[in-house]
C-alpha cells in the first residue's frame, strides 16, 4: 500500500456504520506510550529519535492487527502529504509541522494507526464508525498488548504509563466520540449541553481535537483525566454521556421537525441547492452546508443523496485532499473553484 492509495477508499470510520451512526460519526481511542530507555521525544537527540522509530517498526512486525500496514517516514513526505494525513485524522498538527524524524503506521482501512515521535514516542490510535467505543478500546488494547510484548514501555507501578505531558500519565488513554449535533446548535441548547459535559469531567472540542474550534456542528467529547480509574470505566462513562447527548440531539431533531419543520427543511434544502450549484466555495462554508445536508438525510427529508456521498465529501473537500486529487498544489482561490467542481460532480 502507498500513501496515494488512501485516496481510493474512504476510511472505515467514515462508512457510517455502527450504532447511532447518524449522530455519532466515530469512536476513537488513543494510547500514549513511551520507550522505557529513551528520553521523551522533545528531549531526545536525533539518534535517539531514530532508535525509537526502528524499535517501534521492529515491534509491529508479525503483529496480526497491523499486517499489511502502510509505514511512512514523515521526513520523506511533502508538507502537502502530511496535511493530507492530518485531514484523515492519522497524524496530529504537531507531526505535520515537525522537521524531526518521525513516522506513522497505518493499518488496512485506517482503523489502527501509530504515530511515532509525536509528543510521546508512540501514539496508538483506533478509530471506528458510530458509537462503539468499548469495541474500539478492545482493538487498541490488543495492539498495545502485542506491542508491549516486544517493546519495553515506560511504566511506573505508582503512576502507570509515563508520558511526556503529565496530563496523559496513568492510562495514557484519550477516548473520544465525534458527534454531529446540528439541532442542538440551531436550537441554541448546545451551550448547556457542553457545560453539562464539562461538569461530568469530560472535554468537548472541535473537529481536529485540542485547540480547534467546533465547526460544521461537529463536537468531540473525550475524557479529561487519564488516571484514577480503569480504561473500561472511563470508556463506559464517555459512552454513557455520549448516549445522553445523542438523546438530546434526537429530541431536538424531533422538536424542530414538529414545531419548525418548514424552517428546518428550508435550511437543509438551501444548503443542498448551493452545494449543487456553487462555483466557488470555501472549506468552512462547505463544512456547514454538508452538515445541513447530512441532517436532511438523517431526517429522511433528502432522499436522493446518501450518507456515504456526504461523508466522502467531508473528507475530499478538505484543502490537502483536494490538492492530492488534482495532483498539483493549488492556491486557496484555486481550491475554492476545484472544491465547487468536485461537489457538483458528486451531487449531480
Stretch that binds a copy of itself, among 119-127, 181-189, 266-274, 305-313 (CB under 8 A): 266-274
Query: For 123, what's the count of Cα atoms within 13 Å in the CB-facing half-sphere?
Result: 26
CB of 337 to a copy of itself, least distance (A): 6
285 binds a copy of itself (CB under 8 A): no
337 binds a copy of itself (CB under 8 A): yes
How many residues bind to a copy of itself according to rule CB under 8 A? 18
Stretch that binds a copy of itself, among 47-55, 98-106, 199-207, 275-283 (CB under 8 A): 275-283
| Contact of 257 with 264, CB cutoff 8 Å | yes
Task: Compose the 148-187 pattern: x for residues touching a copy of itself by CB under 8 A, - for all others.
Answer: ----------------------------------------
284 binds a copy of itself (CB under 8 A): no
262 binds a copy of itself (CB under 8 A): yes
Name the residue with cell 484523515. Answer: 88
| Contact of 250 with 23, CB cutoff 8 Å | yes
| Contact of 102 with 88, CB cutoff 8 Å | no
| Contact of 120 with 40, CB cutoff 8 Å | yes
Name the residue with cell 500514549. Answer: 32
DSSP three-state, residue 206: strand
CB of 78 to a copy of itself, least distance (A): 28
279 binds a copy of itself (CB under 8 A): yes
CB of 299 to a copy of itself, least distance (A): 13
Of the candidates 94, 135, 265, 326, which one interacts with a copy of itself according to CB under 8 A? 265
Sign (positive or negative) of CA dihedral 260, 265, 268, 270: negative
277 binds a copy of itself (CB under 8 A): yes
313 binds a copy of itself (CB under 8 A): no
Of the candidates 274, 309, 315, 330, which one interacts with a copy of itself according to CB under 8 A? 274
- DSSP labels, 113-136: EEEESSSSSEEEEEEEESS-HHHH
Stretch that binds a copy of itself, among 169-177, 201-209, 273-281, 304-312 (CB under 8 A): 273-281
CB of 256 to a copy of itself, least distance (A): 14
- Which residue's CB is nearer to a copy of itself, number 266 or number 329? 266
CA 52 vs CA 65, 76, 166: distances in Å: 20, 17, 20
278 binds a copy of itself (CB under 8 A): yes
Of the candidates 266, 306, 328, 329, which one interacts with a copy of itself according to CB under 8 A? 266
Sign (positive or negative) of CA dihedral 138, 140, 145, 146: positive
Name the residue with cell 488496512. Answer: 108
Beta bridge partners of residue 70, listed in sequence order: 106
CB of 153 to a copy of itself, least distance (A): 54
- Which residue's CB is nearer to a copy of itself, number 218 or number 272? 272
Ranges of H-type helices in 260-306 = 261-277, 283-298
Query: For 119, what's the count of Cα atoms within 13 Å in the CB-facing half-sphere?
Result: 16
Q: In degrees rounded to 5, what are phi and psi of residue 238?
A: -65, -40
Judged by the rule CB under 8 A, the positions of this chain that interact with a copy of itself are 262-263, 265-266, 269-270, 272-281, 337, 340
Amino acid at each position: 500500500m502507498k500513501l496515494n492509495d488512501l485516496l481510493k477508499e474512504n476510511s472505515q470510520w467514515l462508512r457510517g456504520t455502527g450504532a447511532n451512526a447518524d449522530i455519532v460519526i466515530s469512536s476513537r481511542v488513543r494510547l500514549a506510550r513511551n520507550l522505557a530507555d529513551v528520553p521523551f521525544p522533545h528531549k531526545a537527540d536525533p539518534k535517539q529519535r531514530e532508535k525509537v522509530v526502528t524499535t517501534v517498526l521492529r515491534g509491529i512486525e508479525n503483529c496480526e492487527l497491523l499486517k499489511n500496514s502502510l509505514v511512512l517516514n514523515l521526513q520523506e513526505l511533502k508538507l502537502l502529504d502530511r496535511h493530507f494525513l492530518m485531514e484523515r485524522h492519522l497524524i496530529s498538527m504537531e507531526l505535520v509541522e515537525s522537521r524531526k524524524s518521525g513516522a506513522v503506521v497505518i493499518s488496512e482501512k485506517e482503523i489502527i494507526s501509530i504515530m511515532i515521535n509525536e509528543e510521546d514516542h508512540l501514539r496508538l490510535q483506533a478509530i471506528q464508525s458510530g458509537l462503539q467505543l468499548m469495541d474500539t478500546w478492545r482493538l487498541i488494547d490488543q495492539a498495545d498488548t502485542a506491542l508491549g510484548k516486544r517493546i519495553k514501555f515506560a511504566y511506573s507501578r505508582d503512576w502507570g504509563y509515563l508520558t511526556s505531558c503529565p496530563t496523559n500519565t496513568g492510562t495514557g488513554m484519550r477516548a473520544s466520540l465525534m458527534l454531529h449535533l446540528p439541532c442542538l446548535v440551531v436550537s441554541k441548547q448546545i451551550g448547556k449541553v457542553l457545560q453539562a459535559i464539562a461538569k461530568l469531567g469530560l472535554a468537548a472540542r472541535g473537529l481536529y481535537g485540542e485547540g480547534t474550534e467546533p465547526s460544521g456542528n461537529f463536537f468531540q467529547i473525550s475524557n479529561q483525566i487519564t488516571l484514577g480509574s480503569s480504561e473500561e470505566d472511563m470508556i463506559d462513562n464517555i459512552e454513557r454521556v455520549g448516549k445522553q447527548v445523542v438523546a438530546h440531539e434526537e429530541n431536538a431533531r424531533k422538536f424542530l421537525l414538529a414545531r419548525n419543520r418548514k424552517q428546518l427543511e428550508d435550511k437543509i434544502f438551501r444548503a443542498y441547492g448551493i452545494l449543487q450549484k456553487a462555483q466557488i466555495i470555501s472549506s468552512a462554508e462547505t463544512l456547514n452546508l454538508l452538515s445541513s445536508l447530512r441532517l436532511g438525510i438523517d431526517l429522511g427529508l433528502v432522499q436522493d443523496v446518501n450518507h456515504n456521498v456526504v461523508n466522502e465529501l467531508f473528507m475530499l473537500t478538505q484543502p490537502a485532499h483536494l490538492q492530492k486529487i488534482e495532483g498539483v498544489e493549488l492556491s486557496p482561490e484555486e481550491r475554492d473553484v476545484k472544491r465547487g467542481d468536485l461537489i457538483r460532480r458528486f451531487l449531480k
